[in-house]
Amino acid sequence: MRNYDYLELLPLREARRTRGSMHDTTAEQFTGAIPDHYDRALGPVIFADYAADIARRAVASSPARVLETAAGTGIVTRHLRDLLPVESKLTATDLNEAMLDIARAKFGPEEQVTFTAADATELPFSDGTFDVVVCQYGVMFFSEKPRSYREVRRVLTRNGRYVFNVWDSHAHNAFGRLAHETAARLYPEDSPPFFQVPFGYRDIDAIKESLTDAGFADIKALGRARQ
């Protein structure tokens, strides 16, 4: 499997700001027993290794205040809290309360982790609140990606960092391709798009352009293959 990690460093200018709302239907579908299955089954197989990697990148600058968006069931959140200094504050957000309930259960009250249901395109935080913002495999699902970048830039400190990753194409991710092809064979008249969306946001130049428009600079894109 291969993905691209995007580390957005040293924002040099203020981002343009817009307001509005996003209704993420994908998040709303993850209810009932799905969040628990997602955490116990998909988490260790697909997300755990990348979670450890992105957490290490995020904490490299020893940030005092960290925000995670699209935190889901807290897979990355747990790694972040384990690696951050004790005095650092960590805030984890997701649009889906059921996913956040799973995440909350992984932490004790003394660990300084705050969980907040929030829309990544309209973050409920003041300007310049965080030193680092982290998002693992969430950006692809945001319906207003440029707006989500502007919101991240707004809540970051002047020299804050945005660290996020996205999947490469099906050509480099056999598990996604096989799942998509299998579902298409089983349901040829109504093939679920779930395994198309995560692997469809991979145009590096277009992503960099959106980030630049949002006010980011010194943008680095790194490819990583899972061993």
Question: Which residues are registered as beta bridge partners of 53?
Answer: none
State the average pLDDT over residues 100-117. Answer: 95
- Over the stretch 10-41, which tens digit does the pLDDT of each residue have? 333 333 333 333 334 455 556 666 676 666 75
User: Domain boundaries in the chain?
Assistant: 2-225
d(CA 145, CA 121): 8
On whether the pTM is more than 0.85, the answer is no
- Residue 142, Cα to own-chain centre: how many angstroms? 10
Q: Evaluate if residue 103 carries a pLDDT over 90.
A: yes
User: What pLDDT is recorded for position 138?
Assistant: 93
d(CA 164, CA 3): 11
- Over the stretch 63-85, which tens digit does the pLDDT of each residue have? 999 999 999 999 999 999 999 99
Q: Evaluate if residue 104 carries a pLDDT over 60.
A: yes
What is the fold of 2-225? Rossmann fold (3.40.50)
Residue among 216, 180, 212 at smallest CA distance from 199: 180
Residue at 115: amino acid letter? F
User: What pLDDT is recorded for position 54?
Assistant: 96
Strands across the sheet containing 113-117: 113-117, 89-94, 65-68, 130-136, 156-167, 2-8, 219-225
d(CA 30, CA 44): 18
